Structures are given as structure tokens and as C-alpha cells.
Amino acid sequence: MKYYKSISHLSNYFLGIFYLLFLNSCLQKEDNFSNIKIDTGKVALGDSLQLKADSLNALNQLDNAFTAYLKSNTYYINQHKEESITYNNLRIATIYLTIGDPNSAQEIISKELPSISTKENSFKVYIYNTLAICYAELKDYALAIEYFNLSLELASSSEEKIILLNNIASNYIHLNQGEKAIAILQGLISSNTIEDNIIEKARILNNLGKALFKQNNTQGLNELEESLTIRLNNVNQDDIFRSYITLAEYYVLNKNYTSAYDYALKSYDISKNFKNKNDKLLALEYLAKSNQKQSSEYLKSYIELSKEISTENQKAKNQFAKIRYDFQLHEQENTKLKLDLQHSELVSARNKNALYIALIILITGGFVISFIYRKIRQRHRLDKIQQAYLTETNIAKKIHDELANDVFNTLTYTQNFNLEATEAKNHLVSDLESIYKKARNISLQHSSIATDGTFASHLTNLFNEYSTANCKIILSGLDKFDFTLLDKNQKITIYRVIQELLVNMKKHSMATIVVFKFTDDKKSFNIFYSDNGVGIIQENIKSKNGLLNVENRIKNIGGTFTFDSTNQLGVKYNIQLPKKNYV
């Protein structure tokens, strides 16, 4: 425990000097951020909380000081006040060390290491020094020496260097490397600068005496006694306690239990006035070692006090852990609220922009749709005119090709033959009947189609028109086919397609048997056609205008039109129409 108090003294010493250096560096660097936008209100609040935290820390109100340092940091963030944040973190780490939680202290200080190259030397010295204390408290003395050496390289005053070297030597003593400790401490004692600092001289002599008797138990007493004399003259109870404990350790090692008990008892009496119960625990340890008669009593007190200290330390760690957790949770909630607010504002702005864009699109779309609609109407009008023209042309062609010649031949026949004769009269009647049927077929092909409940009857009549003695049309499933499930457009298309197939059959196939089969399933309606005619050459099938018309008509209502290309005799077609979602 001697080492702990020695280290604590070092930390407090540096804290005093560093605070002045810290204020000076802030004043010197104030102009560096003159061109950067800083919220002076937040900085002022951070400074105020920092000063409040320092005052609370000086009054040993560690929990309140701890909270104030944390709050101060929140105002410094994003305000280019890295030095102020580092200062607060170092003070927080010192509080952790005070309550016996070096792990949390090391965690806080380690966060400063990544940016340490950008900091002023005063910060670097403080950071390395505090980190060294953390590792010393964790009994990692080798690593503690490394960081004390880093701090020593940057120390500016001889007094700082003396303190650091003394603590390095103390760590070597803990590592049982007495030679290195003695070399450092004797070098310090022989220097002229040590005479100006009596308190540090007493510390060095005490550590030197300890290093000597650790090497040889007969040495070191003179140095220990000289250190005690200096300390008694300065009336520093903490330093006097260190000398008493070291002398008790020396006499226990040399088995002079009377002198050891005397110094242990003196250290115990002084420790009663200390808030740090670890000092009292150390005194009880040497009382037990130096007094065999009362050893069990002192050991019992030692165990009880050790449990009490452990409980208090754990409570303190838990208390500060909760303060830090609650603070971080509060900050997270505040951050979330700010993010939610920013998100809401962003969503609102996006919604407004989306509304404006939607209005622009709506207006533009209205103009575009109106333009397209007019174009479609105009095209539809032209298509209707074109369709009417094509229909008229088709009718005229059919009249010319199918009727004009027959009418002319009939007129010629009436002029050249005696119509009183029975044979001539019958021939004339037959010609006139043929002309009538052709005229009627032309009319039916371009007349309107009934799509109501009589559609099946009209379809049957169409089949009857093309069923002759030379060509028999066989129907399957027509009477069971539910045409009510088809819409008007589908019915018209089916009628025209069947009509087109019958016309093609009569003109080109020379078939004697034609079969139409009507079926349906869950998804579609099916119409199958086959005949025993001459068939269609595969390469020329697409060139037939009639079949192209059939295929286009079926596609327009979302159906498919396929033919059997492997059939060697006649033709086979399959028409499939979807029951739903047709085009």
C-alpha cells in the first residue's frame, strides 16, 4: 500500500500543474478555431459544468463531480473542444482510481491514445502518467514502467522527472529488480535538485531503504530512519504512515518483532484517522505478523476489515457504473429523439416534395393523356374509315368475282336458250338459286352478329350453310358449350373465325368431312377443327390471308391459334381462349 499512496501523490501533483497548463493551452489555441463555426452557448455551459465538477471533486463529492464531468463532455462534442474533453476524461479516470476501479480508469484513458499524437505535451504527460498508475494498480508493473517512461520523455520540469523516476524505481522494487531501483534512487539522492524538495527526498530515501533491505536485510535502515526524521518534521500524517509501515516491514524481515510491532502499532493509530481503510488493513497485517500472542485477534480484524473494504469497493464500482450507464442511456434517448425529429422533418420535407412532384406529374400526365386520347380517337376514327373502306372494297370484290360473272352468264343464257323448255327453265332456276346463295353468304359475312341467347342458333345456321351433300360438317359438344361465359367481343370473334375457316375450307380444301369439337376446362375454352381435305403446305401457311386473319383475331382476345404441322392429310387447328384475364 506504500506504493499506492506514492502513486496517488503523483497523480494529485500532476493534476494541480496540469490544470494551469490546460487553461493556458486553451487560451493560446482560442484563435485556431476563429474560422470554425462554434456554438459559444454550448461551450459556455460545458465550461461552467467543468468548473463545477472541479469544485465538487475538491470537496470529495465524487459522484456529483463524476456526473458533472460527463455532462460537460456532451456540450463539448462537435464544438472542437478536444482538449476540454480529454481533461474531463482524465479527471473521470482519477475518480475511478480513487474508488479502486483501475479497470474503468484504464478504459477511459485508452480512448485518448488514438489521437494522442495531436495533443499538447502537457496532455500526453498526464495521459501516460495516469495510464501507468492504472497498470500499477492492476499489478502489471512492467507495463506501468513503460508508460511512466513515456511520460518521463515528455516531462518538462526537473520536479516532474524526479517524481516519475521515483515511481519507476518503486515499480522495479515490486518486480524484485532491486539493482535497477537502487541505481535510479541513488542517482536521485546524489543530484543537487533533490535538496530543494524535502518531501520528495523523504519518498526517495524510503524507497531506497526498502530496495536495499529487499536485496540484503541488513541494509537500508539508515535511509528509512532519515526519511522518517524528515517526515516527522513536516508533520504529514500520510507520509509518516508510509515510513512506519516500511520500518515495520524491515523489522519483520529481520525478526525484530518488538520494534516491528511498535512501528506497526504507530501506523495503525495514524490510520484510524484516514478515510482510506486500505491503510488500516495494511497496519493490521503487520500487527499480526509482529505479535504472536495477539496474532489471531489481529487476523480476525484483518479479515473482517478486508470483507468490509471489498463490499464498499464493489458498491462504489456499482454506483459509478450505474451513474455512467444511466447517463449514457439518457444520452442515447436524447440522440434518438433528435434523430426521430430530424427524420420526421426529413419525411415531411420529402412528402412535400413528393406532393409537388405528384402534382406536376398529374398535370403533365393530364396533358399527355389528353393528347394521347385525342390521337387515339383520331386514329380510331381513321381506322373505322379505313375498315369501312376495306369492307366496301371486299364486298365489291366479292360481288365482282362471285356474282357479276354468274349474273352475266345467266343473262347470256336467257338470251340464247328457249326458256319455255323444261330443261332450260330448270337450268335457269338452278343458276338463280346459286346467285341467291352467294349473295346471301356475302350479306351474312358482313352483317351484324347476334350475341344474346340466340348466339348458338346463329352459329348452327352458319354450319348448316356450309354443310352440303358433298361436304358433311360434324359438330361435337356444341349443345353443351356454355356461350354465356363468353363476352360479346369473344362471341363475335369466334363467329368470324369459324366463318373464315369454313370459307377457306370451301375454297381450298376440297374436304368431304369437317369436324368441329367444342370443349372447356377450368382455365380455358377449346375449339378443335379438322378436315380431310388437301391440307396446307407448311411453308405457305402464314401467307394465307384467311389464316392470318384468324390468328390475329384470336390473339386480340388473348387466345392462341395452333395447327398440327405433322398431319399428312387435311388440316387440324386448335383454338384456345382463356376464361379470365383475356385481352
Count Cα atoms within 13 angstroms, Cβ side, for 582: 23
User: Between 521 and 377, whose confidence is greater?
Assistant: 521
Query: Distance between CA atoms of 75 and 473, rounded to whole angstroms?
Result: 97
Q: Determine the 3-state secondary structure of 390 from DSSP.
A: helix
Q: C-alpha cell of 310?
A: 471489498
Name residue 296's amino acid.
S
CA-closest candidate to residue 524, choices 455, 564, 580: 580
Q: Among 343-347, 356-360, 477-481, where is mean pLDDT lowest?
A: 343-347
Q: Among 318-322, 463-467, 500-504, 540-544, where is mean pLDDT lowest?
A: 540-544
Mean pLDDT, range 254-283, rounded to an integer: 92
Count Cα atoms within 13 angstroms, Cβ side, for 183: 5
For the chain, give the mean pLDDT.
Answer: 81
- Do 89 and 77 touch, CB atoms closer than 8 A? no
- Residues 273-295: tens digit of each pLDDT: 888 888 999 999 999 999 988 98
Continuous segment of H or E residues that includes residue 363: helix 295-398
Residue 13 confidence (pLDDT): 40
Q: Among 226-235, 242-251, 518-527, 528-537, where is mean pLDDT lowest?
A: 528-537
Asked if pLDDT for residue 8 goes beyond 50, the answer is no
Mean pLDDT, range 98-111, rounded to an integer: 89
- Residues 157-199: tens digit of each pLDDT: 888 889 999 999 999 999 999 999 999 999 999 888 888 889 8
For the chain, list the domains and their CATH numbers. 337-447 (no CATH), 450-578 (3.30.565.10)
- Residues 385-443: tens digit of each pLDDT: 565 556 566 666 667 666 667 776 777 777 777 777 777 777 777 777 777 766 766 66
Query: Distance between CA atoms of 140 and 150, rounded to whole angstroms?
Result: 16
User: Between 358 and 394, whose confidence is greater?
Assistant: 358
Radius of gyration in angstroms for the set of CA atoms belonging to the chain, rounded to a whole number: 56
Angle of helix 121-137 relative to helix 102-110, nearest 10 degrees?
150
